[in-house]
Amino acid sequence: MEQIIIFDTTLRDGEQSPGAAMTKEEKIRIARQLEKLGVDVIEAGFAAASPGDFEAISEIAKVIKTSTVCSLARASENDVRRAGEAIKHAAKGRIHTFIATSKIHMENKLRMSEDQVVERAVQAVKWACEYTEDVEFSAEDAVRSEVDFLVRVFEAVIEAGAKTINVPDTVGYSIPSVWGERMAELIKRVKNSDKVVWSTHCHNDLGMAVANSLAAVMNGARQVECTINGLGERAGNASLEEIVMAIKTRSDLFNLGTRIDTTQIVPASKLVSTITGYPVQPNKAIVGANAFAHESGIHQDGVLKHRETYEIMRAEDVGWGANKLTLGKLSGRNAFRTRLKELGIELESEDALNAAFARFKELADKKSEIFDEDLHALVNDEVVQDTAELFKLVYLQVASQTGEIPHAILTLNRDGMEQRAEATGGGPVDATFKAIESVVNSAAELLLYSVNNITSGTDAQGEVTVRLSKGGRIVNGQGADTDIVVASAKAYLNALNRLYVKPEKLNPQV
């Protein structure tokens, strides 16, 4: 069966979701999981965005062996050379360069003529070819570009050496029949179109990213750009899990395959959600908690008699239930280390391992069954707390009782100095946040507060996401604990740490 190339851009376009910025270590963990999942190309970032992004791509290029590692680059010499340097250690490396081709972008954003855009695109592809044979070119805002101009640009970049031609619906404007036709027309009209792989990259502003991507596939695209959980700019990108499962489940229509190990989908979804702080809605296809839950009695009865009456996929085929009960109270340090390794988690030092093991023992005292998700959350929390540069939680006491006003007392370590604070609030979390603010005085706006249980049961760890906004910057903070008020305090402090210390980085589309 002919294979579709799955190009995952969770670490680049996904990271452009408000507050989803990831650290190098977090990106490496996700990259390892993407490799395990079997994605063909991992877009690891935008090398020119910041020194941190450059370093993350270089590290990923060193550790990933089976997937191609790609860096995005605007069509400028500096960007392309940074991308080339970042992927130089990759077993298989790609440079993905792009420039906008719609009138609205060329006139208002780039302030360049059509001729200048073609010239720059060709030049960027030629610079990229100095580093790798695997060069991808994207015509940003192809959806609102004139087809004649797209044909001209694509012919020129193919001539210059591009091997993959990506057609993005940057603003999520298309609908499936139109997008399919556009792909078919380009493939038909562009000279040497059979020498390249045609790709599609769809945003979800009208909720049609997956449908549009599949329409492109039906019309000749052989690479789909997508993200785990559909994370991405604004309403997000096409979701990898939906694309892959649609192609697999409806192979009668597509007659195509992918290299994806579908049993790794749910673990990948949970990891990305834990790290970015973007919860998955319960009714999300494939990876939502209710995706395989049957509420109505008639459905339950049908499924018990014959599963296919109401199920078109098997939960276990996408990785539900794959979460192993891995460790317990009596597990030793070696078993802990081995399981972390199997999960692709490598702690930087013996000290970090010892600290994580101590946290694991504490958790095992409170929670009898420890699952893989618990280990991911625990390590995430450990790294988050450990790398906290300004504020750390030292102590928290919260009193909450019917008929009384909730009251929080806490001690924070602020840049090496301990400070005590207390406050009352509408609830225990509100009181805790107010106590923290009385020390920090950030005046940041709280955009989101959400709690999710990591596994089932009332002894599960709660995973809290806090999204803060200040001076135009948006950050997410995470915290995990069996006590959700403690998890909330950690998440709030994590967001503050990101707000105060994280350097700004460049957005490729600006």
Query: In the complex, what is the shortest distance from the CB of residue 138 to ligand KIV, in angstroms, rounded to a whole number?
Result: 4
Closer residue to ligand KIV (CB): 99 or 160 = 99
Reduce the DSSP state of residue 140 to 3 states and report it.
Answer: strand
Sole window of 162-170, 252-260, 367-375, 447-455 interacting with ligand KIV (rule: CB under 6 A): 162-170
From residue 98 to residue 137, the character string flagging contacts with ligand KIV as x (rule: CB under 6 A) and all else as - is x---------------------------------------
Please state at what angle helix 114-129 crosses helix 147-160, rounded to 10 degrees: 30
Closer residue to Zn ion (CB): 13 or 141 = 13
Reduce the DSSP state of residue 312 to 3 states and report it.
Answer: coil
Neighbours of 13 (CB within 10 A): 25
Closer residue to ligand KIV (CB): 49 or 384 = 49
Closer residue to ligand KIV (CB): 168 or 319 = 168
What does the DSSP 8-state code read for residue 19?
B
From residue 188 to residue 207, the character string flagging contacts with ligand KIV as x (rule: CB under 6 A) and all else as - is -------------x-x----
Backbone angles phi, psi at 50, to 5 degrees: -170, 160
| CB 470 within 8 Å of CB 495 | no
Going by C-alpha positions, the residue among 72, 71, 53, 65 that lies closest to residue 92 is: 65
Considering CB distances under 5 to 8 angstroms, the limit depending on partner class, which of ligand KIV, Zn ion, none binds residue 138? ligand KIV
Query: In the complex, what is the shortest distance from the CB of residue 12 to Zn ion, in angstroms, rounded to a whole number?
Result: 8
| CB 5 within 8 Å of CB 41 | yes
Beta pairing partners, 396: 410
Contacting ligand KIV within 12-41 (CB under 6 A) = 13
Considering CB distances under 5 to 8 angstroms, the limit depending on partner class, which of Zn ion, ligand KIV, none binds residue 81? none
Sole window of 165-173, 343-351, 398-406, 456-464 interacting with ligand KIV (rule: CB under 6 A): 165-173
| CB 487 within 8 Å of CB 461 | yes
Q: Binding of ligand KIV at residue 138 (CB under 6 A)?
A: yes
Query: In the complex, what is the shortest distance from the CB of residue 276 to ligand KIV, in angstroms, rounded to a whole number?
Result: 17
CA distances from 5 to 216, 259, 307, 318, 465 (A): 13, 8, 31, 19, 33
Considering CB distances under 5 to 8 angstroms, the limit depending on partner class, which of ligand KIV, Zn ion, none binds residue 59? none
Sole window of 166-174, 176-184, 260-268, 358-366 interacting with ligand KIV (rule: CB under 6 A): 166-174
In terms of Cβ atoms closer than 10 Å to its own Cβ (0-12, 13-18, 19+), residue 280 is buried
Whether 237 has a binding-site annotation, put simply, is yes
Whether 201 has a binding-site annotation, put simply, is yes
CA distance 279 to 277: 6
Interface residues with Zn ion (CB under 5 A) are 13
Going by C-alpha positions, the residue among 58, 77, 65, 70 that lies closest to residue 13 is: 70
Considering CB distances under 5 to 8 angstroms, the limit depending on partner class, which of ligand KIV, Zn ion, none binds residue 371? none
Closer residue to ligand KIV (CB): 182 or 203 = 203
CA distance 481 to 88: 40
Give the pairing type, strands 256-257 and 325-327: unpaired
Q: Binding of ligand KIV at residue 140 (CB under 6 A)?
A: yes
CA distance 424 to 393: 18
Considering CB distances under 5 to 8 angstroms, the limit depending on partner class, which of Zn ion, ligand KIV, none binds residue 372? none
Considering CB distances under 5 to 8 angstroms, the limit depending on partner class, which of Zn ion, ligand KIV, none binds residue 140? ligand KIV
Query: In the complex, what is the shortest distance from the CB of residue 5 to ligand KIV, in angstroms, rounded to a whole number?
Result: 15
Closer residue to ligand KIV (CB): 105 or 270 = 105
Reduce the DSSP state of residue 50 to 3 states and report it.
Answer: coil
Backbone angles phi, psi at 281, to 5 degrees: -65, 145
Considering CB distances under 5 to 8 angstroms, the limit depending on partner class, which of ligand KIV, Zn ion, none binds residue 98? ligand KIV
Reduce the DSSP state of residue 103 to 3 states and report it.
Answer: helix
Q: Tell me the number of residues near ligand KIV by CB under 6 A.
A: 10
Residue type, 345: I
Query: In the complex, what is the shortest distance from the CB of residue 98 to ligand KIV, in angstroms, rounded to a whole number?
Result: 5
Closer residue to Zn ion (CB): 232 or 477 = 232
Going by C-alpha positions, the residue among 98, 90, 166, 101 that lies closest to residue 133 is: 90
Closer residue to Zn ion (CB): 13 or 136 = 13
| CB 166 within 8 Å of CB 129 | no
Q: Which residues contact 176 (CB under 8 A, 6 or more apart)?
A: 208, 211, 212, 214, 215
| CB 94 within 8 Å of CB 47 | no
Closer residue to Zn ion (CB): 169 or 373 = 169
Point out the annotated binding site for Mn(2+): 13, 201, 203, 237
By CB under 6 A, name the binding residues for ligand KIV.
Answer: 13, 98, 138, 140, 166, 168, 170, 201, 203, 508
Point out the annotated binding site: 13, 201, 203, 237
